A and B are shown apart, each in its own frame.
Chain A
């Protein structure tokens, strides 16, 4: 066995297991705090909030989004909704038009496509609220979302608040797998990250910002393909906190096929790499607390894991090719080969142990995570099976994204 390969296996296994163990320990340690949010006092005056929706070809979903906003449990006169049309070529304009009769809903109708970040900045510039919430046009919010998130801003250091992102009506297998990923990755784990002040993203479906902070840092970066991720780095850079609220949620539409998921993840991961490179001066410095160490640690796991994955796939493929050429010599007599196979526990190598322990850790995370997220796992068994093996798909997405980032290929939103 090549000692370098063996060392890499040990190192990657150790880093990723350590990451999962710390996550599980944090969940256990902070289990009481997960669903506790600061509440409004009776004497608190509710602030004005502007909600900005950037819409590009959202004729089918924008009505549901606006309807959910009209159901908000928040004084109507304190909510301003700004819809920014990003040069849609479908009937988004016509879909929004009936809502503009409501004096609290404003419509900025761009005839050309500017990009999501530019549209959000346009909305922020027009906003009059003390806080600005940015929301995707394909998402619907919990009526309590503002009442639950606004109190977090009592802490003057809070720059943004994000919420649980759930999947809207998951139907097929892929959607059910991603649903679990959202419950854990875009909800529970973000909550844990928030306790360490290491949130790296303010998710696009719904995040609320202190407007003065957004103005101070110069709004969204129009050159970045993952503007919701990039702004999180600059909030940390400006020494503000990103809080996470688990007691409210936003439901969003997710890709329902492989191509859609591939495009989404390629954009997310390429954007994550580009953003990390852009803000690399934040790493390995105590100035930004754990965040400065957590992000490079995270990327170390991803990149080393990817190197290991590629090496393993190379070995696997060369082995398959070799075996095919061997079977050609025996007229593809697979039956004889299979009859020689036997179960021998002594034949389990250390790699087998690492593999089994990794699957066990993933399952443990899933079971504990769903329990702490107060979600049922029993009703999501098919998705759980897929979730354990999504690792292979993510490695593929990371590989493509790394290539895209390194070759500086342009990706459209």
Chain B
């Protein structure tokens, strides 16, 4: 076992540290610490000069541990680590001590005690450094293929983008046809094209792309593994296929709420949803009703389902405009509780609908509209909030605007892929703000209405984004994990299972091995938080770079300074 040889480099940071902390004293003090064979100070440790000095000393003094006392590791740690590597020293044998943000800058009026504190911090850093061990970053190979679950607009977009990046794609669609929800829509916003015009070219390109294999009428039965190495079982009615992929995209969409129990839906023949409206009326020869009343926010923004369907207002406006274009004399009313015409295009569309004579009536959730009529809806009675009175609107047709709701299958998928669902039942992304299409589980991504109701441009953007994320590990070929992961000493493990329960990422499993059943950490999934280590009663689980010996050594180094505790 080579003797531990620690080099300590104390930075002045111009005057930032040296103006308060007496650096020469800290240098002297460090010389007396166990295992320290070299100490020097530098004006700016992070400068070219400073880094060169460190590299030189590693070579000259055969240093096998380096401690730099300067600013916060959160900025320059990678720089110093790279310097160590360049000098041939494993970068995990480096320890950073913060004597600027945590010392000189906050004790500017007490140089004596700031200096004492700096000495103790260096002592703690050296103590930990002595217990550091060289680490290799895990590189795990990524199988160069992706699985896309769902063949709607989102799934097809993601698959096509990946295919065109030269990546092999397996696209699984439950129905016999591609297109998903958009197949049930007749015309599009804002272009007013027929949906066929959008879908057909997509489907054509997809089917003819050499990198993409489509499984129609297929189900994903099982997914095992982790990023870079997923084993997938796909079942169609003809066969079961096993394949390997590196990443997975969930694009399973959602479906329109059928609001049974609301406004006579499913009881009265002329009360329909927006999609049903499109199916029935947006075709050759259909009779356009003269009096149409639409009711928005049906089954949405209510106590039982608090979310907003996001683009249902857009759909209502689209269909209202269509009606007025077919028959300018038609009476079209839209009963609403906030018109969600956000952005540029939808707001413009909203304004246009009003110019065409569509009338918007604001109603209140406390005073919902009532359908009048026995065998059919004949009129809608509503309390018009802006007029302050009740109005009765004759209706040949009542169209209910409902939100998309999560698919029942989401639960099964979420367990299979080890990804969570949110409280509404849609897939829950890693971070609502900055990681909206990733999961906490690496290698699985989500896009489109499977995540939350999204209109076509939004679903397509998300699909492209998911394709970018899914492509990254594949293009790289390797997944690299920072070596601050946990590991289990199987000889000591008692298989209590605490760690398995506590890991936020599902990275630990109890497995059979040489010592019986023990915990094993999947390093590719481990994020290096250390939750499991603190939960381990036997000490079998440790975290590289933050193990118990290292942290205890810091505590003891600090406590050793406790003599009488006076004038600390």
Do A and B actually bind? no
Residues of chain B having any CB pair with chain A under 8 Å: none
Residues of chain A having any CB pair with chain B under 8 Å: none
